[in-house]
A and B are shown apart, each in its own frame.
Chain A
Amino acid sequence: MSMKATIRQVDSVTVVDISGRITLGEGCAQLRELIRGQLTKGNKRVLINLADVTYIDSSGIGELVSAYTAVTNQGGQLKLLKLTQKVHDLLQITKLYTVFDVHDDEAKAIGSFGKS
């Protein structure tokens, strides 16, 4: 199953719901293009919902880091929502869990971005 992403706007936050696989190749390229597209539109408050991600590899983790850096470098914020246990474990193992602002509750995550 390849990666699928849907984008919705909640208040001033762009929520990206991802499902499927974020792996080297198509999945990573798709995520990169998606983040680039949102930044081009001026959407710099991004919440990535990973609840339905079935598989992520080291390249997918790297792509999340790349997205985080791209958004942060433009003065924006990128946060993660609803990590699966496997993604959670991978972020812990790679010491990235403390880099990302991770949330379990969407409303609280949206609220954490503050007022625009």
Chain B
Amino acid sequence: MTAEPSVVEVTLESDLKNLEVVEEIVRRVAGTAGFGEESEHQIEMAVHESMINAIWHGNKNDASKSVWLRFEIYKDRLEIRVRDQGNGFNITEVPDPCSAENLLRVSGRGIYLIRTFMDEFHVKHLPGSGTEVTMVKRIDPAH
């Protein structure tokens, strides 16, 4: 049986000015979960990039739309969900930013960074209501 997680849930106006608000929340949540400084920064960056995807690409920078975040702190992991009100994207169509032909592209590194920094990354299209990404970072007791 899995113990009930501690939950932090927040809904924010879809505006880039909220990025720093979210970073502060992430720092506190990650600290509470017991992550060290390096993991905390990785989680912060992963959520930052997810927020940008949600605000910029999902909600098309429309401040009348919202971004919903949910943090679930378990004993062994932190699960984070970020949901926007956009039309979603096909994860298989995201090009590899490290391949020679894409290396000097200006954009397209966000999802790559999320995948690098988190242990799990999933994208789910919610018909009629947006896109939800789920990220998991396992808590390494040694750090």
Contact = CB atoms under 8 A, between A and B. Distances in A.
Interface of A: 23-25, 57-59, 61-63, 65-66, 68-69, 86, 90, 93-96, 99
Question: Chain B interface residue count: which class?
Answer: 20 to 34
Of all A-B residue pairs in the complex, the 9 with the closest CB atoms, nearest first, are: A58-B109, A62-B106, A95-B98, A58-B110, A25-B16, A66-B106, A62-B107, A24-B52, A93-B116
A69 B52 CA distance: 24
Interface of B: 16, 19, 41, 45, 48-49, 52, 56, 97-98, 103-110, 112-113, 116
A94 B104 contact: no
Nearest to A2: B20
A95 B104 CA distance: 10
5 contacts: A23-B19, A59-B107, A59-B110, A69-B104, A94-B113
A3 to B, nearest CB: 13
Contacts of B112: 58, 94
Given A25-B16, A59-B52, A93 B113 contact: yes
A68 B79 CA distance: 37
Contacts of A59: 52, 107, 110
Contacts of A68: 104
A76 to B, nearest CB: 16
Given A57-B110, A66-B106, A68-B104, 11 more contacts: A23-B19, A57-B48, A58-B113, A59-B110, A61-B109, A62-B107, A62-B108, A65-B104, A86-B41, A90-B113, A99-B103
